[in-house]
Chains A and B, each alone.
Chain A
Amino acid sequence: MSALETAQKIKAKFGDLISEPAEFRGEITVKLADAEQITAVCEFAKQTLGFNYLVDISSVDNYGDDPRWTIVYHLRDIVNVVEIRIKIDVSEEKSELPSVLSVWRTANWHEREIYDMMGIRFSGHPDLRRILMWEGYPYFPLRKDFPLAGKPSELPGVAFTKPAPLEGGPFVTVAGGKDAISREPRIRNPEE
């Protein structure tokens, strides 16, 4: 069974909630319209279609667009070697979607990482703590509005961050610039 056929099966089961499968570089992506259904879709993919291996969960910050977040699940059937990608949009006001920890236990750390880096919460996750940053860190560093140079944070005596010491200087790349020219430090005039 090819990836496209499995995608059609998911679509047949969930109907309009699932978009038409899109193909790019041989990979099949479907989009799920309702984030609340992700556990049901994943459960169906695992139990009926044999996607027993969750490769990865990623998150994308579409800063400036609505809905702001995209969560990307990479599913794999390691018996028949089939892969499929499921994407879900989540709005910034909600910033929450159900956890798939009950389907694959590997989702535990992936979801914690997304919460840590992007600030998207997973309802039903039993242990949603920060994983890479420390407990009490106030920001979500992978968001597009978080500067590359970092931000100062208050947690005196325990943990603190300062902006990079050369921030704004002539040799530091400008974070978040729209192209390589605006980021490039060597063309900048330090007098400006």
Chain B
Amino acid sequence: MATIQDIEVRDSAARSALAADELQDMHGEKMVLNMGPSHPATHGVLRIVLELDGEIITKADPDVGYLHRGDEKIAENMTYTQFIPYTDRLDYLAPLANNVAYALAVEKLLGIHDKLPPRCQYIRVMCAELARISAHLLGLGAFAMDMGAVTVFLLSFTEREKIYNLAEAISGARLTTSYTRIGGVMRDLPPGWLDQCQKFCDDFIPALNEFETLLTRNRIWVDRVRDLAVISKEDAIDYGLSGPNLRGSGVEWDLRKKQPYLCYKDLDFDIPTGSVGDCYDRYLVRMEEMRQSVRILEQCTKKIPGGADNKTNEPVNVADGKITLPPKQKVMSSMEELIHQFMLVTEGVNCPPGEIYFGHENPKGELGFYICSKGGGTPYRMKIRAPSFVNLSIVPKIFVGTLISDTVAILGSLDFVMGECDR
């Protein structure tokens, strides 16, 4: 008869701490090790200066800024619409979500964020959720590849390719989408796009199940990521974490639910949360979020006003000539539209003086735009609250006491993008 026996499996850090205790009388010097900025596990250009006692990290000092391009300075020197392409390059794994976040922020300044046409809201929600799946897939693939599971990386890229194709179909670009405009989107969905999107959803769930069979109950994977870099609820809030990293620590906070924007109120989805706050929880939260995104996408394809081919001519842009560009044909034939077009292109969208903050639930966390306007078509000051920047600030705390071989697992589970962190 088979018997079940409990085996005490200590986690790797505890084992090394024990081994270190046994070697009390051996003293060595601490070693400083430089990791990055070009290191495959730092997913971009992050540099971390590690202080090591044997294999155990005693101090970690992240050094960011290698990808600093001065986006906030650039924004002060151009019109609101001209800045949209720069948002593609923030979190370059989810450009569509950044476009949506930025457009909503400027629309909040204009006071039209809750007056958007319903079809536009649904399109934007679908963009944001596709971007979320795409970003989480890369986060998952890179995380698994750093742990040695290269297969997952290759499989996840097969699925990401389909999302890139969908992005290309709506915006004409795979990466630098620049799809939204102030007060709407660049153009309506192309014919057949909703069917492609639905097909992607149908194919994606089996693929996701396959990823799960490769990882979720894989002994090697679980051993490497479980109980590693535990972030408590209090620490997660205190350090201002957001997105899956905050939810992985058991805080049920999602801007889509707590401060609903667009049409998220009408959509049915759940917020997954972790229970421990370790790397494994953050991984599980991302997996479940992708399933929820597919749920949202499927509802959107059914509920979108106008349907696939928009026979009822639902508008996708705000009907205000001072905010969105008029149709080109009218520009050539009507004086008023010509003036509107001229003013919008030369002066930009005229925003009222004031200041707003808008936070958007991006794949990596809360992407916020603080816009201080003194009126006119240019922001006086625009601060980008980048989720990756804030999420990385907890690194000095959670690295201490872990093994050097675990750094790649922790970095993979934090899932940051340096383009956004450094701005």
Contact = CB atoms under 8 A, between A and B. Distances in A.
B77 A175 contact: yes
B417 interface: no
B211 interface: no
Given A56-B368, A106-B239, A173 B77 contact: yes
Interface stretch (A4-12, A35-43, A88-96, A130-138): A130-138
A52 interface: yes
Contacts of A29: 355
Interface of B: 64-65, 68, 70, 72-74, 77-79, 108-109, 111, 237-240, 251, 253, 258-259, 346-348, 354-357, 359, 366, 368, 370, 372, 376-378, 380-381, 383, 385, 389-390, 392-393, 422-423
Contacts of B73: 141-142, 146, 148
> What is the predominant secondary structure among interface residues of chain B facing chain A?
mixed
Interface string A78-118: 10010101000000000000000000111011100100010
B354 A25 contact: yes
A183 interface: yes
A27 B357 contact: yes
Contacts of B108: 25
A77 B385 CA distance: 17
A181 interface: yes
B240 A24 contact: no
Interface of A: 24-25, 27, 29, 52-56, 58-61, 72, 74, 78, 81, 83, 85, 104-106, 108-110, 113, 117, 130-134, 141-142, 146, 148, 173, 175-177, 179-181, 183-184
Nearest to A61: B381
30 contacts: A25-B108, A29-B355, A52-B238, A53-B240, A55-B366, A56-B357, A58-B383, A60-B372, A60-B381, A61-B381, A74-B385, A81-B258, A81-B259, A83-B357, A105-B239, A106-B239, A106-B390, A108-B393, A109-B389, A109-B390, A132-B64, A132-B65, A141-B70, A148-B73, A173-B77, A179-B347, A180-B79, A180-B346, A180-B347, A183-B77
B383 A180 contact: no
Contacts of A175: 77
Contact of B65 (A54, A56, A131): A131
Contacts of B377: 180
Contact of B393 (A27, A83, A109, A133): A109
Nearest to A112: B393
A179 B377 CA distance: 8
Given A27-B357, A74-B357, A180-B348, A53 B237 contact: yes
A134 B81 CA distance: 31
A132 B381 contact: no
Contact of B240 (A85, A104, A130, A183): A104
B390 A176 contact: no
Nearest to A187: B346
Contacts of B79: 180
B159 to A, nearest CB: 32
Contacts of B357: 27, 55-56, 74, 83, 85
Contacts of A180: 79, 346-348, 377-378
The interface centre, meaning the residue of B111, B357, B389 with most chain A CB atoms within 10 A of its CB, is B357
A180 B337 CA distance: 20
Given A131-B64, A133-B68, A106 B385 contact: no
Nearest to B109: A25
A54 B64 contact: no
B383 A56 contact: yes
B380 A60 contact: yes
A117 B389 CA distance: 15
A49 B346 CA distance: 46
B240 A106 contact: yes
Contacts of B389: 109, 113
A187 B350 CA distance: 21
B238 A78 contact: no
A56 B366 CA distance: 11
Contacts of A59: 383
Contacts of B346: 180-181, 184
Given A61-B381, A83-B357, A180-B79, 15 more contacts: A25-B354, A27-B357, A53-B237, A54-B240, A55-B357, A58-B372, A74-B370, A74-B385, A105-B238, A105-B393, A106-B393, A117-B72, A132-B68, A180-B347, A180-B377
A113 B357 CA distance: 18
Contacts of A110: 390
A180 B378 CA distance: 8
A19 B19 CA distance: 59
Given A25-B111, A176-B77, A180-B378, A55 B359 contact: yes
Nearest to B241: A106
Contacts of A148: 73-74, 77
A133 B65 contact: yes
B113 to A, nearest CB: 8
